[in-house]
Amino acid sequence: MKILVGYKRVVDYNVRIQVKPDGSGVVTDGVKLSANPFDDIALEEALRLREKGIASEVVVVTIGPANAQAHIRNGLAMGANRAIHVVTEDAIQPLTAARAMLKLVDKEQPGIVILGKQAIDDDCNQTGQMLAALWDRPQATFASKIEISANVARVTREVDAGLETIEVDLPAVITTDLRLNEPRFIKLPDIMKAKSKPLETIAFADLGVESGDHLKTTRHEAPAKRSKGVMVKDVGELVAALRAKGLV
Amino acid sequence: MSKILIIAEHLDGKLNSSTARCVSAAIAAKPDSIDVLVLAADAASIASDAARIEGVSKVLTLSRTENAHALAAILAPQIAAIAGNGYSHVFAPSTTFGKDLAPRVAALLGVAQVSDIMTVQAARTFQRPIYAGNAIITVEAPASGIVVATIRTASWPAAANGAASAPIEAANADVSLPTHTRFVELSQGKSDRPDLQGASKVISGGRALGSAESFEIIYKLADRIGAAVGASRAAVDAGYVPSDLQVGQTGKIIAPELYVAIGISGAIQHLTGIKDAGTIVAINKDAEAPIFEIADYGLVGDLFKIVPELEAALAT
Ligand SMILES: Cc1cc2nc3c(=O)[nH]c(=O)nc-3n(C[C@H](O)[C@H](O)[C@H](O)COP(=O)(O)OP(=O)(O)OC[C@H]3O[C@@H](n4cnc5c(N)ncnc54)[C@H](O)[C@@H]3O)c2cc1C
Ligand SMILES: Nc1ncnc2c1ncn2[C@@H]1O[C@H](COP(=O)(O)O)[C@@H](O)[C@H]1O
């Protein structure tokens, strides 16, 4: 069985995001870029399924600019067998990403597609669900445990009420939550080895994805700031302050 | 003309307050009507609760056994069919229920989806957070096509119950449902404490608690003032508390009147989950911890000394 993994490059989670003064976007020049943390978890899970003999091949997919090659090589160094780079300089919204992924699914016929539950740049949390709908296959979102037997995935999902378990027939789309696993670190020799792994580049325009239905972003602004409050010296002072406000 | 359809969230036969929060967001879009759709095995009593929310024009029900559990693959085609009956908007709460469901509905309708609406500027123009709330963007949905969106519940008060009840109608969605997705079980921590997402007071603990046993002092303090309990990702990852207590960018976004962060450093991913809280209290032994930058009241010291003191002080 083949597993397709979404592997998006995003601004690193440690970067302090600054909105440009003219409201046209956020500053991305010169900031550190990394794999979306949920996609590292997705790739790790796919590799473990391959190590268990359940999957035979792990393919990472990046839809992103031409200069994302080093990022894709990281996915290969972590252990993916090969990579597909759909090249576009435009920011791709989830519906378009899902439509593009569907083209790759048609071509590759994977048994499982594992994506992150959300990209930490747009925080959309949509692409996996949309791909599953367009593909007319099951979705198991926010996974914290995946067990595969025969043609069924039993997935534990982190939901607001607790942990939900569902069963889905394969092929299916699974999206990852934080507790699914802890991704391995990339080792130096593997970076060298990754250089010779297959990396296919496809121009976005050549995929024949229907366009349109985009949301138009008209303005970026910094969030309202909370002002710094006061420091209290002890518990007595804290309780007095909270009582004065009627909070306790 | 705009007609908004809200997908009701419910569990164990009870309507979730997230539904009434979606009604508030819908009212802000100034539509001609606001209908609530209840999909359940037996929607009757949930529908009569939804009908009481002020601002609701009509409640539609789809009662069938397949709807016993909220499985997106099963609910989405029914919702897409109902949405086709002249609705301009479909809203769901931005809870795990709505986040799972809404994109599937949007894709079936062939439209983009707006996630986490914070403000409604016009019927098709909204504000939403990106980058863990470090930037707020204004987005416009295309002029035609249904607007599918999730509502950031912490940004909206729950619409109150009105004097009258809206009419309830059985709807009809003639679609075949897949069998490829099956519910197995839901394991919930049984607790009499208030629900984290609706609670007016929340006490959260972080990595500093050190173990599940030590975390008990947070529960004790919370019980003293009738608060819900939350946690940082680090505390969840370390197994001190279950995952449904995680507050933050990728956990629950909450807006209680009082939030107390104990032994939590204040990483940006955590802060984004609490910045709409009324009053924030931070207790941390490190005076430089970033949590103090946004706290209304900060207290520097060892939590293992402070928390028992605080509990005792609140008992009197
Ligand atoms: C993709 C992604 C998503 C994330 N999502 C979330 C999320 O949704 N929610 C979330 O919370 N985090 C999230 N995080 C993690 C976040 O970046 C931080 O790592 C996490 O919030 C830290 O938790 P903490 O404050 O409990 O631990 P730490 O940062 O380790 O802080 C512990 C604090 O306790 C204090 N302390 C230690 N001992 C004592 C004592 N005896 N008395 C008093 N104070 C003491 C220390 O001074 C320190 O400030 C996410 C990270 C990533 C990469
Ligand atoms: N441009 C992209 N390239 C690769 N994967 C993507 C891309 N966009 C979205 N994804 C996948 O979809 C997930 C959810 O993204 P989103 O819906 O944008 O929050 C991500 O974690 C990725 O796995």
Question: What pLDDT score was predicted for residue A210?
Answer: 85
Decide the pairing of beta strands B125-130 and B181-187: unpaired
Q: CB contact, 8 Å: A216 with chain B? A: yes
User: Is the minimum distance from the CB of A94 to ligand 2 under 6 angstroms?
Assistant: yes
CA distance A127 to A110: 17
**Summary mean pLDDT of chain B:** 97
Most B-contacting residue of A152, A180, A242 (CB-CB within 10 A), to test interface: A242
Whether A129 and B104 lie within 8 Å, measured CB to CB: yes
Asked whether the beta carbons of B139 and A215 are under 8 A apart, the reply is: yes
Tell me whether residue B9 is in a domain. Answer: yes
Same domain, B205 and B92: no
Nearest CA to ligand 2 atom 14: A118
Choose among B195, B246, B196: nearest CA to B14.
B195
Q: CB B76 to CB A137 under 8 A? A: no
A91 at interface of B, judged by CB pairs closer than 8 A: no
Measured from the Cα of B207, ligand 1's closest atom is 26
State whether B142 and B218 are in the same domain.
no
- The pLDDT, as a whole number, for residue B149 is 98
Interface contact A130, partner B, CB < 8 A = yes
pLDDT-derived band at B253, boundaries 50, 70, 90: very high
Which of the listed residues B151, B170, B189 is the one where a domain comes to its end? B170
Q: Which amino acid makes up residue B204?
A: S
Where residue B98 sits, what CATH number does that domain have?
3.40.50.620
> How many CB atoms lie under 10 A from the CB of residue A24?
11
Going by their DSSP bridges, the two strands A172-176 and A230-231 should be labelled as unpaired
Write out chain B residues lying below 8 Å of A11, CB-based. Answer: 131
User: A32 and chain B: CB distance < 8 Å anywhere?
Assistant: no
| 3-class secondary structure per residue, A171-239 | CEEEEECHHHCCCCCCCHHHHHHHCCCCEEEEEHHHHCCCCCCCCEEEEEECCCCCCCCEECCCHHHHH
Beta bridge partners of B122: B125
Nearest Cα residue in chain A from B246: A160
Say if residue A183 is preceded by a cis peptide, omega within 30 of 0.
no
DSSP string, A77-110: HHT-SEEEEEE-SSPPPHHHHHHHHHHHHHHH--
H or E element, residue B292: none
Give the model's pLDDT for residue A213: 77
Among B170, B193, B219, the domain-final residue is: B170
**Burial class for B145, CB neighbours closer than 10 Å (0-12, 13-18, 19+):** middle
Is pLDDT of B142 > 80? yes
Both B135 and B261 in one domain: the answer is no
For strands B168-170 and B181-187, give the pairing.
unpaired
Rounded Cα distance between B226 and B224, Å, is: 6
Mean pLDDT for the stretch of residues B85-113: 98
Per-residue pLDDT of chain A (248 residues; tens, 9 = 90+): 999 999 999 999 999 999 999 999 999 989 999 999 999 999 999 999 999 999 999 999 999 999 999 999 999 999 999 999 999 999 999 999 999 999 999 999 999 999 999 999 999 999 999 999 999 999 999 999 999 998 999 999 999 999 999 999 999 999 999 999 999 999 999 999 999 999 999 999 999 998 777 899 999 999 998 888 999 999 999 999 999 999 99
Question: Same structural domain for residues B158 and B242?
Answer: no
Residue contact B107–A98, C-beta within 8 A: yes
The predicted pLDDT at position A39 comes to 98
Q: Please indicate, yes or no, whether residues B123 and B269 belong to a single structural domain of this protein.
A: no
Chain-centre distance for alpha carbon B311: 29
Residue with the smallest CA separation from ligand 1 atom 37 is: B208
CB atoms within 10 A of CB B71: 23
Asked, for residue B123, whether it belongs to a domain, the answer is yes
A142 CB neighbours in chain B (<8 A) are: 96, 100
Whether residues B156 and B225 share a domain: the answer is no
The answer to whether residues B31 and B92 belong to one domain is yes
Same domain flag for B78 and B18: yes
How confident is the model at residue B190, as a pLDDT? 75
Dump pLDDT digits (tens) for B216-248: 999 999 999 999 999 999 999 999 999 999 999
Give residue B300's pLDDT band: very low, low, confident or very high (50, 70, 90).
Answer: very high
How far, in Å, CA of B165 to CA of B48, rounded? 8
Chain B residues touching residue A219 (CB < 8 angstroms): 137-138
Query: Is B255 a domain residue?
Result: yes
Residue B184 C-alpha from the chain's centroid: 23
Is the minimum CB–CB distance between B163 and chain A shorter than 8 Å?
A: no
Number of neighbouring beta carbons within 10 Å of residue A96: 23
The DSSP symbol for B8 reads: P
Nearest to A235 among B133, B225, B306 (CB): B306
In the chain, the amino acid numbered B212 is A
Q: Number of A to B CB contacts under 8 A, please give it.
A: 249
At B189 the pLDDT is 79
Q: Which two tokens stand for residue B271?
A: 């802060």
Task: Say yes or no: B66 and B161 in one domain.
Answer: yes
Q: In this predicted structure, what is the pLDDT of residue B258?
A: 98
* Domain assignment of residue B166, yes or no: yes
Report residue B102: phi and psi, to 5°: -60, -45
What's the CA gap between A183 and B266, in Å, rounded?
A: 24
Could you tell me if residue B304 is inside a domain?
yes
Q: Give the separation between CA B204 and CA B19, rounded to whole angstroms.
A: 25
Q: Ligand 1: residues within 6 Å at CB?
A: A 13, 37, 120; B 206-208, 232-235, 246-251, 263-265, 267, 269-270, 273, 284-286, 289, 302-304
Classify the C-alpha dihedral B295-B301-B307-B309 as positive or negative: negative
CA–CA gap between residue B12 and residue B71 (Å, rounded)? 15
* Chain A CA closest to residue B108: A133
**Does residue B57 sit within a domain?**
yes
Query: CATH code at B306?
Result: 3.40.50.1220
pLDDT at residue B1 above 90?
no
Which residue has 């130096």 as its token pair?
Answer: A188
Cβ within 8 Å, pair A129-B103: yes
Q: Is residue B193 part of a domain?
A: no
Whole-angstrom distance, CA of residue A13 vs CA of residue B209: 24
Instruction: Give, in degrees to the nearest 5, the angle at Cα B147 between B41 and B77.
Output: 35
Domain coverage including residue B263: 201-315
Structure tokens belonging to residue B154: 């912490």
Cβ contact (<8 Å) for B275 and A26? no
| Alpha-carbon separation of residue A204 from A97, A104, A119, A211 (angstroms) | 10, 11, 20, 11
**How many domains does chain B divide into?**
2
Q: How far is the CA of B13 from the centre of ligand 2 (A)?
A: 34
Inter-chain contact B107–A129, Cβ cutoff 8 Å? yes
- Coil, strand or helix: which one is B150? strand
Confidence of residue B144 (pLDDT cuts 50, 70, 90): very high
Residue B26 clears pLDDT 90, i.e. is over it: yes
Please tell me whether residues B10 and B97 are part of one structural domain. Answer: yes
Flag whether B94 is in a domain. yes
One domain, residues B16 and B153: yes
Whether the CB of A138 is below 8 Å from some CB of chain B: the reply is yes
Q: Which of B124, B147, B170 is the last residue of a domain?
A: B170
Q: Are A236 and B299 an interchain contact pair (Cβ–Cβ within 8 Å)?
A: no
Residue B196 Cα to ligand 1 midpoint, Å, equals: 19
**Atom in ligand 2 nearest the alpha carbon of residue A124:** 19
For chain A, say whether B191 makes contact (Cβ under 8 Å): no
Q: Which of A130, A216, A231 sits opposite B106 (nearest CB)?
A: A130
Query: Concatenated DSSP letters for A142-170?
Result: EEEEEEEETTEEEEEEEETTEEEEEEEES
- Whether the CA torsion A124, A127, A129, A133 is positive or negative: it is positive
A223 CA: distance to closest CA in chain B (Å): 6
Q: Which of residues 264-293 of B touch A (CB under 8 A)?
A: 268-269, 275, 278-281, 292-293
Residue A212 has a pLDDT of 72
- Amino acid letter for position B282: A
Same domain for B305 and B254, yes or no, is yes
Instruction: For residue A99, give the ligand nearest its CA.
Output: 2
pLDDT band at B69 (very low <50, low <70, confident <90, very high): very high
Subunit contact A165:B186, Cβ cutoff 8 A: yes
> E strands of chain B, at which residues?
3-7, 10-11, 14-15, 33-40, 58-63, 89-93, 113-117, 119-122, 125-130, 135-140, 147-151, 168-170, 181-187, 201-205, 228-231, 258-262, 279-284, 297-300
